[in-house]
Structures are given as structure tokens and as C-alpha cells.
Structure 1
């Protein structure tokens, strides 16, 4: 009977080793998938960061252009006011 118990114990350990090997393989595969997913997320983050930086730079350019456009009519209006209000304009015959 001792020999049978030894064989049962050996079989039990073989089954346990096979189960643990499968679990290790599965866990390793899951970790690899998680790492690959993490790399995809990082790449996407870098792409989005680049797009954000480009849009921010474009926004600053457009903001400066808008400020320049806002100043232009004021300058043009002042020039017209000076011309219309000047004594030379009032004294000229129609």
C-alpha cells in the first residue's frame, strides 16, 4: 500500500505542476496583453499631446491675428476722423 500512496502522491504533484504551468502561461499572456495595451495608450496619449500643442499654437496665432484686426478698424476710424475734422477739409469748396 505504501507504493500505491507514493504513486498517488506523484500523480497529484504532476497534476498540480500541470495546473500551475497552465496558470503561469495564462498569467504571463495576460501581462503581455496588458503591457501591449499600455503601450498603445501611451502612443495615443503622445499623439493627442502633439495635436493639443499644435492646436494651442494655432490658437495663439489666431488670437494675435484677432487682436490685430480689432486694432485696425480703430486706427482706420481715427484716420478718417482726423481727415474729416481737419480745417483743410472744412475749408475746401464742394
Structure 2
């Protein structure tokens, strides 16, 4: 009977070792997947940060242009008529200039 008990104990330990080995493999695999996911999230964060910085720089540039335009008088209708010629097509600030000129011209005509 002692030999049978030893064999059962050995079998029990082998089974336990197999279970623990399998569990360790699964846990290691899960950790690797989590690390890979973390790297993807980090890369996405860096990309978004770069896009944010670019948009912030563009915003600051446009804000500065707008401040300069606010200081520049556009009451002269001749200058307003020339705006599309010297501003690139699709330029937001060109649109703002035309918008300001239009309303200044309209305000002037209402005063008369």
C-alpha cells in the first residue's frame, strides 16, 4: 500500500505541476497582450498630442493674424476690392477681411 500511496502522491504532484505550468503560460500570455495594448495606447496618445500641438500652433497663428487685421483699417473700398487678388484662395483670413469690408461698407451706406 505504501507504494500505491507514493504513486498517487507523485501523480498528484505531476498533475499540480501541469496545472501550474498551464496557468503560468496563460498569465504570461495575458501580460504580454496587456503590454502590447499599452504600447498601442501610448502611440495613439503621442499621435493625438502631436495633432493637438499642430492645431494649437495653427490657432495661435490665426489668432495673431486676426489681431493684426483688427488693427488694420479696411474702410477703403478700393483696398477691399483688391483683397481677393492678394490673398490665397481658401484663406480664412481673406474671408474675414472681405467680411469686415462688407460690413464696413454696409455701415457706411446706412450712415449716408
TM range (shorter): 0.7 to 0.9
Higher helix share: 1
RMSD: 0.9
Greater relative CO, 1 or 2 (CA 8 Å, sep 6+): 2
Point out 4+ residue stretches in structure 1 off by more than 4 angstroms: none
Q: How does 1:59-74 map to 2 (within 5 A)?
A: 59-73=59-73
TM-score (norm 2): 0.65
Note the residue ranges of structure 2 that are not aligned, 5 or more in a row. 76-112
TM-score (norm 1): 0.77
Matched residue count: 75
What is the match of residue 30 of structure 2? 30
Note the residue ranges of structure 1 that are not aligned, 5 or more in a row. 78-94
Higher radius of gyration, 1 or 2: 1
